[in-house]
Structure 1
Amino acid sequence: MRTFTEIGIDDRLVEQLKKMNFTSPTEVQEVSIPLILDGKDVVVRAKTGTGKTGAFLIPVINKIWGTRGLKAIVLTPTRELAKQVAEVADKMGKEGKLHVVTVYGGASINAQLDALRRGANIVVGTPGRVLDLISRDALNLSKIEYLILDEADVMLDMGFIDDAREIISYMPRERQTMLFSATMPREILSIAKSHMKKDRENLIVGEEEEVTVKSISHYYSVAGRNQKFRTLLAYIEQYQPAKAIIFTNTKDSANKIHYMLKQMEFNAILLHGGLTQAERERSLNNFKRGSQFLIATNVASRGLDIPDVTDIINYDAPDTGNSYVHRVGRSARMGKDGRAFTIISASEQSLISDIKRKANVKIKILDLDLENVENVQMVSSTEFYGRKGSRGDRSDRGGYGSERQNSGNRGQRHYGNSGGRSSGGSRGPRRYNNDGRRDYRDL
């Protein structure tokens, strides 16, 4: 393994990287950075959590260190990912006096306009807001030297590829383009062919058919609709996940699971597109600081840096094998061990074959002991939305007030008034393995 200095990074940036705990390059950084420093266009397929963000930010910041004017733009599929990338870029470029501006929807455009007027060296943003700013003549891309498409396959899944193509049309042809993705669908390769140099380098980091990390163990259980929540509780009871993301396919389902788990006095946080940006940020911060469960829709599967996630639980099965890949990529970051558990109905069993094929994993059926779990039914939509405070109550949205609610039970968990167990039944100590410090190495 070579050092950052050996692969061509300036000593001033190397010192800044050390402060951020970047002590040595990851595999994707070691193979990508020298090519980017040499001016090559690159198409990089690498698993989530391998250090892709550093693979493009480090060489680009190395090139524009101490310069003036807008030089680089990073397009990301979600505002959360945009904020993460911008945060890392800002810290990396601090000593070089680089200015990073983040632009995304759901936040004040006036504040973003003001930031752009003050000057930016790097813009990180989502396609919709970038196009909006271009239409207002507030963002001029005619002198862009470096374009990065981050999580390109997610942009495709979310319908942003046409927007990305339009944004590219405002840039000079003589630029350096970098495309990073966990998977390479045909449409992504088409973008590379149409908008990148012919001598681009195509890199596959890891085994060609390996799209999820080997350190994740994959399981599933079959459950009827009325047994899904009980199956979830049985998994929690048996495996005691230290830090888990529970994925649902709808906001309604996420709301109800969050409500039920909090009634049972689990430390649970909610995240979905129906929350305001401030609520979403608060949810992520609370989860990173120690909350045990994050109940989320697919908004949380899109490249978020959430350290120390031990378990991914698909309460609702993902629609496709590719979606499964993105979800489970939130666990086992940087080679740590992790588990992925999916609850499916009898009619969804064909999805397991799709997951095996797309993710190239072995997924085993899990025989959970439901007898040790009381027959607790998840609240219906009619009941849930009819309860006082269930909708719009700040203590039930994104973790507002959750610390106060659980402050008297931080030492142990128990089933409360949901009918599951008596309040005196201790569930054992909570386990927290996140000390609250931000670790940038897996970005």
Structure 2
Amino acid sequence: MKYITKNKKNNKQPRTAGEKKIKTMDPALLQVRPAMQESAGFEATLAFSDMPVHQLLKQNIQNKGYRYPTEIQERAIPALLKGADIIGIAATGTGKTGAFLIPFIEQLLHNKNRTGLVVVPTRELAQQVAEEFKALTTGMKFRAACFIGGTNVNADIARAGAKNHLIIATPGRLLDLVNRKALHLNAIEVLILDEFDRMLDMGFINDVTTIASLTRARRQTLLFSATINASQQTLIRQLVQDPLTINVSSGKSASSTVEQNVLEVAPNENKMEVLFNLLSGDSFEKVMLFAETKRTVDNINKQLARRGVRSDVIHGNKSQHYRTKAIQQFKTGHTRVLIATDVASRGLDVQNVTHVINYQLPQTMEAYIHRIGRTGRAGKKGIAYTFIN
């Protein structure tokens, strides 16, 4: 971990009332975070073309630009094809979505009546899983429905009545459709809980247990996440029977592909000025910036806009249409800085994010790991800065 101390003598940036009440992780925890280390890395023992999956699926994988599986994929896919229950722990950006979609699609190719359910904590992650399924099933005539909050519920009711091979949903909207009797889960055979630790942390524990109890035909259960929490073991044991646990990462540390830096802001410094000077560097081409409150996110965006920085925001007060458009603008390069609360710390897969900046410390080490995991993805190197007052 690199520590960088600034010595500029600017006016101190006042905190908002909301910021004073924020509980954050102990900054001392960052002192034991390792700086980027060169490692031997994982070398796949076989290519996707050598895997025992349908030729059309292989072609779609190749069209996505994938030649070799990641470690979580190489270890999980064969076991999932055999019907095993799995707990998969792997860092963000290591291909967890492909690890559960590829074997499920292969199962569908052998049994078109197979049905699956993917439950995720955020709308953005749900949309991402749906997009990946669509790409991997090109030419197969399989249908998936994505149900998330912030969209038209009547349209969802209509989609729920169709024949869907895979349902992807956030817990709230999923149970809303179930309660309206528009959707029935009794035929679901494969249950996938992606970022399951985050769902439980967000207060979805009762929703998760309800959803699991409704999947009465369930034959296979998959739990995937980048972090693991010992306090959730009791529920995990209720969800999966004799699971195969695959630990690609410890679930307690950040990816070694991310160089981590702490930026100390002195009492006499203007924090916003320090941020602007940092963003002025030529290498800051595509940046995700995190803050704890919606108010702070909006304030940072306004101040950066005044300085001519192309930025936008996503947080819980923004409509789903706005959030989707903001992410698309960021992906295509129309926006250089995307400022967000932790709504974007998981499941947002944007290629070539050069930097992650924690303008405010997150509340937990798990949140920190997921935030900086937006860069350094798919084996590429990334850089993270964390401001400490």
User: Normalising TM by the smaller chain, what interval?
Assistant: 0.7 to 0.9
User: 1:275 Cα deviation (Å)?
Assistant: 1.0
Contact kept in structure 2, 1:45 and 1:205, CA below 8 Å:
yes
1-structure distance, mates of 2:200, 2:207: 10
Q: In structure 2, what is the equivalent of residue 213 of structure 1?
A: 255
Q: In structure 2, what is the equivalent of residue 222 of structure 1?
A: 264
Q: In structure 2, what is the equivalent of residue 145 of structure 1?
A: 189
Q: Does 1:257 align with 2:300?
A: yes
Contact kept in structure 1, 2:189 and 2:217, CA below 8 Å:
no
Contact kept in structure 1, 2:91 and 2:251, CA below 8 Å:
no
Q: In structure 1, what is the equivalent of residue 314 of structure 2?
A: 271
User: 1:222 Cα deviation (Å)?
Assistant: 2.4
Q: Deviations over 1:162-213 (max 9, x none)?
A: 2111110101264100100111102433232111112x1011014x376321
Contact kept in structure 2, 1:213 and 1:335, CA below 8 Å:
no
Secondary structure of 2:360's aligned partner: coil
1-structure distance, mates of 2:252, 2:121: 23
Candidates 202, 205, 208, aligned match of 1:158: 202
Q: In structure 2, what is the equivalent of residue 389 of structure 1?
A: none
1-structure distance, mates of 2:99, 2:110: 20
Contact kept in structure 1, 2:315 and 2:340, CA below 8 Å:
yes
Q: How does 1:396-435 map to 2 (within 5 A)?
A: none
2-structure distance, mates of 1:225, 1:277: 39
Percent of pairs identical after alignment? 36
User: 1:13 Cα deviation (Å)?
Assistant: 0.9
Q: How does 1:62-211 map to 2 (within 5 A)?
A: 62-65=106-109, 67-69=111-113, 71-172=115-216, 174-198=218-242, 200-206=243-249, 208=250, 211=253
The letter of the residue matching 2:121 is P
CA RMSD in angstroms, aligned pairs only: 1.7
The letter of the residue matching 2:71 is E
2-structure distance, mates of 1:267, 1:152: 34
User: 1:236 Cα deviation (Å)?
Assistant: 2.1
User: 1:4 Cα deviation (Å)?
Assistant: 2.5
User: 1:344 Cα deviation (Å)?
Assistant: 1.5
Q: Does 1:282 align with 2:322?
A: no
Q: Does 1:25 align with 2:37?
A: no
Q: TM-score with structure 1 length normalisation?
A: 0.74
User: 1:112 Cα deviation (Å)?
Assistant: 1.1
User: 1:225 Cα deviation (Å)?
Assistant: 8.6
Pair 1:209–1:181, CA change in 2 (3 A): closer
Pair 1:138–1:104, CA change in 2 (3 A): same
Candidates 10, 15, 39, aligned match of 2:83: 39
Contact kept in structure 1, 2:119 and 2:193, CA below 8 Å:
yes
User: Higher Cα Rg: structure 1 or 2?
Assistant: 1
Greater RCO (Cα-Cα under 8 Å, separation 6 or more): 2
1-structure distance, mates of 2:295, 2:252: 34
Larger deviation, residues 64-73 vs 250-259: 64-73
Q: Does 1:324 align with 2:376?
A: no
Contact kept in structure 2, 1:241 and 1:311, CA below 8 Å:
yes
Q: In structure 2, what is the equivalent of residue 426 of structure 1?
A: none
Q: In structure 2, what is the equivalent of residue 11 of structure 1?
A: 55
Pair 1:132–1:70, CA change in 2 (3 A): farther
The letter of the residue matching 2:94 is T
1-structure distance, mates of 2:162, 2:217: 26
1-structure distance, mates of 2:274, 2:89: 35
User: 1:227 Cα deviation (Å)?
Assistant: 2.1
User: 1:161 Cα deviation (Å)?
Assistant: 2.2
Secondary structure of 1:148's aligned partner: strand
